[in-house]
Amino acid sequence: MKKSLFIVIFLFVHYSFAQNTCNCGAILIPKQNKIPIYDHPISKIINYYIMDDTNSYNFNQIIIFQIINGFAKISANGINKDTAEKKGWIELQYLGIYPSGWEGGIKFYSEPTKESKILSVFQKPYYIPLRILKCSGEWLYVYVYENGIKKEGWLSPENQCSNPLTTCN
């Protein structure tokens, strides 16, 4: 009985951690705020703090590797200062992605492939970050409100801009 329970728990944990793996860029949404990077998604142990500082023009380049339960496993490198790589887990509420390739609107897909159904189109993608919910490969599942209507779906890699200094357009 104990062995069966262990196997079930092991498979659940393995399956949970195997989901939502990716290699996507992201940006920090709040500026001028210290954001904690944890050693594990359910931990309260803080390894580092990172911050996009508009006063000293120090921004971070973020790569997401995995998303679990509202946390993203990331790597962060300062672009201008503090260039030492920082790895760990950050709450998704602090991450976003800028839309890129605005002509004709930004399409949100039902699956992480362009062959899937288009769920909605973000018609006026202003210089505001899209919120990230999950990832798969180089695709991000995002949402944004446009004219009070929530639009969400999978965002293709070519419509993502993770450069904190430009909109990539």
What is the secondary structure of 63-97 as a DSSP string? EEEEEETTEEEEEEEESSS--S-EEEEEEGGGEEE
- At 9 the pLDDT is 40
Residue of higher predicted confidence among 83 and 58? 58
* pTM score, whole prediction: 0.84
The answer, yes or no, to whether residue 109 has pLDDT greater than 50, is yes
Mean pLDDT, residues 2-6:
45
Cα dist from 60 to 111, 129, 162, whole Å: 29, 15, 10
The answer, yes or no, to whether residue 135 has pLDDT greater than 70, is yes
> Rounded CA gap, 18 and 20, in Å?
7
> Rounded CA gap, 78 and 84, in Å?
7
Are 76 and 86 in contact, with CB atoms under 8 Å apart? yes
With bands split at pLDDT 50, 70 and 90, how would you rate the model's confidence at 169?
low
The answer, yes or no, to whether residue 139 has pLDDT greater than 80, is yes
Round the average pLDDT of the chain to a whole number and report it. Answer: 83
With bands split at pLDDT 50, 70 and 90, how would you rate the model's confidence at 4?
very low
The answer, yes or no, to whether residue 145 has pLDDT greater than 70, is yes
With bands split at pLDDT 50, 70 and 90, how would you rate the model's confidence at 97?
very high
Q: How many residues does the chain have?
A: 169
| Opening angle at CA 51, ends 75 and 143, nearest 5 | 70
